[in-house]
Protein backbone atom coordinates (compact mmCIF):
# COMPACT_ATOMS: atom_id res chain seq x y z
CA UNK A 1 0.00 0.00 0.00
CA UNK A 2 2.88 2.30 0.69
CA UNK A 3 4.28 1.62 -2.77
CA UNK A 4 0.91 2.32 -4.39
CA UNK A 5 0.65 5.66 -2.62
CA UNK A 6 4.20 6.53 -3.63
CA UNK A 7 3.38 5.82 -7.32
CA UNK A 8 0.27 8.01 -7.07
CA UNK A 9 2.32 10.89 -5.64
CA UNK A 10 4.91 10.54 -8.40
CA UNK A 11 2.15 10.48 -11.03
CA UNK A 12 0.49 13.60 -9.53
CA UNK A 13 3.85 15.37 -9.40
CA UNK A 14 4.54 14.60 -13.07
CA UNK A 15 1.00 15.72 -13.97
CA UNK A 16 1.48 18.96 -12.04
CA UNK A 17 4.78 19.66 -13.83
CA UNK A 18 3.17 18.97 -17.21
CA UNK A 19 0.32 21.40 -16.41
CA UNK A 20 2.76 24.09 -15.28
CA UNK A 21 4.81 23.63 -18.46
CA UNK A 22 1.65 23.92 -20.59
CA UNK A 23 0.62 27.07 -18.70
CA UNK A 24 4.08 28.55 -19.28
CA UNK A 25 3.86 27.88 -23.03
CA UNK A 26 0.42 29.53 -23.15
CA UNK A 27 1.68 32.61 -21.30
CA UNK A 28 4.68 32.92 -23.61
CA UNK A 29 2.61 32.84 -26.81
CA UNK A 30 -0.48 34.68 -25.53
CA UNK A 31 0.82 38.25 -26.12
CA UNK A 32 1.47 37.43 -29.78
CA UNK A 33 -2.08 36.15 -30.13
CA UNK A 34 -3.50 39.30 -28.55
CA UNK A 35 -1.37 41.56 -30.77
CA UNK A 36 -2.42 39.55 -33.82
CA UNK A 37 -6.10 39.88 -32.89
CA UNK A 38 -5.68 43.62 -32.34
CA UNK A 39 -3.99 44.00 -35.71
CA UNK A 40 -6.88 42.13 -37.34
CA UNK A 41 -9.49 44.36 -35.66
CA UNK A 42 -11.00 46.77 -38.15
CA UNK A 43 -10.34 50.44 -37.64
CA UNK A 44 -12.32 53.15 -39.39
CA UNK A 45 -10.70 56.47 -40.29
CA UNK A 46 -12.72 59.41 -39.00
CA UNK A 47 -10.50 62.39 -39.72
CA UNK A 48 -6.94 63.18 -40.73
CA UNK A 49 -5.48 66.66 -40.67
CA UNK A 50 -2.06 68.18 -41.12
CA UNK A 51 -1.57 70.22 -37.92
CA UNK A 52 0.80 72.62 -39.68
CA UNK A 53 -1.96 73.62 -42.13
CA UNK A 54 -4.67 74.42 -39.56
CA UNK A 55 -5.30 78.18 -39.34
CA UNK A 56 -8.35 78.28 -37.05
CA UNK A 57 -9.63 76.19 -34.16
CA UNK A 58 -13.05 76.50 -32.59
CA UNK A 59 -14.15 74.70 -29.43
CA UNK A 60 -17.63 74.88 -27.98
CA UNK A 61 -18.24 72.97 -24.76
CA UNK A 62 -20.38 73.35 -21.65
CA UNK A 63 -17.91 75.82 -20.10
CA UNK A 64 -17.28 78.26 -22.96
CA UNK A 65 -16.54 78.94 -26.58
CA UNK A 66 -12.90 79.29 -27.64
CA UNK A 67 -11.76 80.49 -31.06
CA UNK A 68 -8.07 80.55 -31.92
CA UNK A 69 -6.52 82.04 -35.05
CA UNK A 70 -3.00 81.39 -36.33
CA UNK A 71 -1.06 84.33 -37.68
CA UNK A 72 2.39 83.18 -38.73
CA UNK A 73 3.73 81.03 -35.89
CA UNK A 74 1.58 82.72 -33.23
CA UNK A 75 -1.94 81.88 -32.09
CA UNK A 76 -4.45 84.50 -30.94
CA UNK A 77 -7.66 84.17 -29.01
CA UNK A 78 -10.44 85.89 -30.96
CA UNK A 79 -12.58 86.37 -27.82
CA UNK A 80 -9.81 88.18 -25.93
CA UNK A 81 -6.76 89.23 -27.94
CA UNK A 82 -4.98 90.41 -24.76
CA UNK A 83 -4.51 86.78 -23.69
CA UNK A 84 -1.17 85.33 -24.77
CA UNK A 85 -1.64 81.84 -26.24
CA UNK A 86 0.89 79.06 -25.64
CA UNK A 87 1.71 77.80 -29.14
CA UNK A 88 3.11 74.54 -27.75
CA UNK A 89 -0.23 73.81 -26.06
CA UNK A 90 -2.04 74.39 -29.36
CA UNK A 91 0.47 72.16 -31.18
CA UNK A 92 -0.09 69.39 -28.62
CA UNK A 93 -3.85 69.77 -29.08
CA UNK A 94 -3.55 69.48 -32.86
CA UNK A 95 -1.26 66.46 -32.57
CA UNK A 96 -3.94 64.69 -30.50
CA UNK A 97 -6.52 65.37 -33.21
CA UNK A 98 -4.47 64.79 -36.35
CA UNK A 99 -5.45 61.15 -36.95
CA UNK A 100 -8.74 60.04 -35.42
CA UNK A 101 -9.90 56.47 -35.94
CA UNK A 102 -12.75 54.43 -34.54
CA UNK A 103 -13.38 50.75 -33.84
CA UNK A 104 -17.13 51.25 -34.38
CA UNK A 105 -18.91 52.85 -37.31
CA UNK A 106 -22.67 53.22 -37.64
CA UNK A 107 -23.59 54.26 -41.17
CA UNK A 108 -26.77 56.10 -42.13
CA UNK A 109 -27.79 56.78 -38.53
CA UNK A 110 -31.43 57.82 -38.59
CA UNK A 111 -31.72 59.64 -35.27
CA UNK A 112 -28.60 61.55 -34.26
CA UNK A 113 -30.31 62.53 -30.98
CA UNK A 114 -30.13 58.96 -29.71
CA UNK A 115 -26.33 59.35 -29.76
CA UNK A 116 -26.39 62.83 -28.22
CA UNK A 117 -25.30 64.36 -31.51
CA UNK A 118 -28.36 66.54 -32.20
CA UNK A 119 -27.17 68.78 -29.35
CA UNK A 120 -23.56 67.63 -28.79
CA UNK A 121 -21.75 68.33 -25.55
CA UNK A 122 -18.61 69.26 -27.49
CA UNK A 123 -17.99 70.76 -30.95
CA UNK A 124 -14.46 71.13 -32.27
CA UNK A 125 -13.76 72.81 -35.61
CA UNK A 126 -10.50 72.81 -37.56
CA UNK A 127 -10.18 75.13 -40.55
CA UNK A 128 -7.49 75.74 -43.14
CA UNK A 129 -7.61 77.25 -46.61
CA UNK A 130 -11.04 76.27 -47.96
CA UNK A 131 -11.31 73.12 -45.81
CA UNK A 132 -13.11 72.62 -42.53
CA UNK A 133 -13.83 69.68 -40.24
CA UNK A 134 -16.29 69.88 -37.37
CA UNK A 135 -16.27 67.06 -34.86
CA UNK A 136 -19.39 66.69 -32.76
CA UNK A 137 -19.04 64.64 -29.60
CA UNK A 138 -22.25 63.39 -28.06
CA UNK A 139 -23.23 60.96 -25.33
CA UNK A 140 -20.95 58.66 -23.40
CA UNK A 141 -21.81 54.95 -23.62
CA UNK A 142 -20.67 53.31 -20.39
CA UNK A 143 -21.18 49.80 -21.78
CA UNK A 144 -18.48 50.26 -24.41
CA UNK A 145 -16.58 53.02 -22.56
CA UNK A 146 -16.74 55.35 -25.56
CA UNK A 147 -18.24 58.62 -26.75
CA UNK A 148 -20.30 58.88 -29.92
CA UNK A 149 -18.94 61.32 -32.50
CA UNK A 150 -19.82 62.51 -35.98
CA UNK A 151 -17.91 64.53 -38.53
CA UNK A 152 -19.39 67.61 -40.19
CA UNK A 153 -23.07 66.97 -40.89
CA UNK A 154 -22.62 63.37 -41.99
CA UNK A 155 -25.07 60.70 -40.83
CA UNK A 156 -22.23 58.34 -39.88
CA UNK A 157 -21.63 57.84 -36.16
CA UNK A 158 -18.31 56.66 -34.75
CA UNK A 159 -17.04 55.96 -31.25
CA UNK A 160 -13.90 57.27 -29.56
CA UNK A 161 -12.40 56.65 -26.14
CA UNK A 162 -12.36 59.05 -23.21
CA UNK A 163 -8.69 59.86 -23.85
CA UNK A 164 -9.56 61.60 -27.12
CA UNK A 165 -12.60 63.28 -25.57
CA UNK A 166 -10.43 64.71 -22.79
CA UNK A 167 -7.74 65.75 -25.29
CA UNK A 168 -10.28 67.75 -27.33
CA UNK A 169 -12.41 69.14 -24.49
CA UNK A 170 -10.36 72.26 -23.76
CA UNK A 171 -11.05 75.72 -22.38
CA UNK A 172 -9.16 78.96 -22.93
CA UNK A 173 -7.24 78.34 -19.69
CA UNK A 174 -5.72 75.21 -21.28
CA UNK A 175 -4.14 77.37 -24.00
CA UNK A 176 -3.04 80.39 -21.97
CA UNK A 177 0.67 81.04 -21.74
CA UNK A 178 1.82 80.94 -18.12
CA UNK A 179 4.69 83.15 -16.95
CA UNK A 180 7.48 81.93 -14.69
CA UNK A 181 5.62 82.96 -11.51
CA UNK A 182 2.60 80.84 -12.50
CA UNK A 183 0.37 83.68 -13.65
CA UNK A 184 -1.06 84.09 -17.11
CA UNK A 185 0.80 86.25 -19.60
CA UNK A 186 -1.03 89.17 -21.17
CA UNK A 187 0.12 91.07 -24.24
User: How far, in whole angstroms, is CA 91 from its chain's centroid?
Assistant: 16
pLDDT of residue 35: 41
In-domain check, residue 184 = no
Residues in the chain: 187
Task: Domain count for the chain, please give it.
Answer: 2
Are 180 and 172 within 8 A, CB to CB?
A: no
Give DSSP secondary structure letters for 110-139.
S-GGGGT-SS-SEEEEEEETTEEEEEEEEE
Segment 5-9 shows an average pLDDT of 80
User: Rounded distance, CA 139 to CA 38, Å?
Assistant: 26
Structural domain containing residue 11: 1-41
Residue 185 placed within a domain = no
* For residue 114, pLDDT beyond 90: yes
More confident residue, 6 or 121: 121
Residue 42: band (very low, low, confident or very high) from pLDDT cuts 50, 70, 90: confident
* Statement to judge: residues 51 and 31 lie in one domain: no
CA distances from 68 to 6, 20, 35, 65, 142 (A): 80, 60, 40, 10, 32
Radius of gyration for the alpha carbons in the chain, expressed in angstroms and rounded: 26
Tell me if 187 is assigned to some domain: no
| Same domain, residue pair 129 and 85 | yes
Average pLDDT value for the chain: 86
The answer on 119 and 62 residing in a single domain is yes
- Asked if residues 177 and 86 have their Cβ atoms less than 8 Å apart, the reply is yes
Reported as a single tens digit per residue, the pLDDT across 139-174 is: 999 999 999 999 999 999 999 999 999 999 999 999
List pLDDT tens digits, range 58-83: 999 998 999 999 999 899 999 999 99
Amino acid sequence: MNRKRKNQLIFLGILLLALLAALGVIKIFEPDAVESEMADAESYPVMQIDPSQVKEIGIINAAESVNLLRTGDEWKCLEDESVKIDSAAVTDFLEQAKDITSAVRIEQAEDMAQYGLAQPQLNVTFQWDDNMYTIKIGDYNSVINSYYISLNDEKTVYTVDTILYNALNKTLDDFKQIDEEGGETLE
